[in-house]
Amino acid sequence: MSNVIVVIGPGQIGQAIARRVGVGKHVLLADLRPENATAAAEVLANAGYEVSVASVDVSSRAAVHALVETATRLGDVTGLIHAAGVSPSQASPATVFTVDLYGTALVLEEFGNIMARGGAGVVIASQSGHRLPALTAEQDRALATTPVEELLRLPFLQPDQVIDSLHAYQLAKRGNSLRVMAEAVRWARRGARVNTISPGIIMTPLAKDELSGPRGEGYRRMIASSAAGRAGTPDEVGNLGALLMGADGGFITGSDFLMDGGVTAAYWYGELAEVRAPHAD
C-alpha cells in the first residue's frame, strides 16, 4: 500500500506543494472540474509522479466522504493539501461561505477522521483573513468549533450581516485559520498535524484575472506599497508548504502563516493604512 497525498484544488499552489511532498507517494488530485485535475495529473505524471484523479464538490458531505474512501483505498493518507475555493470576484457571499468556510470545515473533519499517524495537512487560506478587524471571542470560538452542519447558521454570517462577497471572503478565511487551530487538537489524537498558509498576491491564472478585474488597481497598489514590492510565486508557497508537511515542521501545528510580502503590514501600519476602509481588500 502506498502513502497517499490528497490535493483538493490542484491549481498552481496545490501542485507546487505536491511536487515537494509527493515524491515516492501516490498523489490523488481532486477538483470540482475533472478536466482541471486531469490537466494537473498530466503535468505531474510527466515529471515522474504516481498520480490519479477524482472529482469532488467540497460543499457536499457525500462527495467529500467519497473522496476519503477513494484515498484510503489507495493507501495510508499521510498528507492533505486543501487549496480549493472561490474568490470574491467569482461568487456571491452565500457561495463563498458554502465553499470556502463550510467546505474547508467539512474537509478538515472528514480527513481528520482517517489521517495516518505522522501525517500532516495544509489549508490555503488568504491574507484577506488578516484584514478583518478583530472579532469577539465568542465569534472566534463559533467559527472554530461550531459543528460543521450548523456553521452556516451562525447569526453573524447571515445575509443581513454580510452584504458583499469580499466581507464574506475575509470572514471565511479568518474562519479557516481558526478552524485549523481547533482541528489541530483533534488531529493530534491521531498523531497528525495541520496548519494554514495565508498567501498574499501569488501569480496564478486566478490572480492575473483579479489584477485585470475591477479590483486590479487596488491589488497593484498593494504590491507597490509592500516591503517586497512584487507578487509572490506558487513555488514560494510550495517551499513553506513542504516545511509544514515535512519532518522539519514536526513542532508546528494549529498555526497560520501569513506570507504576503509585507502587504498586510503596510495595510495596518504603512502607506496603505491611509486608504484603509471597512472590509477593504
What amino acid positions are annotated as catalytic residues?
169, 173
* C-alpha 194 chain-centroid distance: 11
For the beta sheet containing 256-259, the strands, ordered from the edge strand earlier in sequence to the opposite edge, are: 50-55, 26-31, 2-8, 75-82, 120-124, 193-199, 256-259
* C-alpha 199 chain-centroid distance: 9
CB 116 within 8 A of CB 77: yes
Q: CA–CA separation, 201 vs 231, rounded Å?
A: 5
CB 126 within 8 A of CB 169: yes
Q: E strands along 32-118, which residues?
A: 50-55, 75-82
Angle, helix 137-145 to helix 165-188, in steps of 10 degrees: 70
What is the number of other CB atoms lying within 10 angstroms of the CB of residue 168? 27
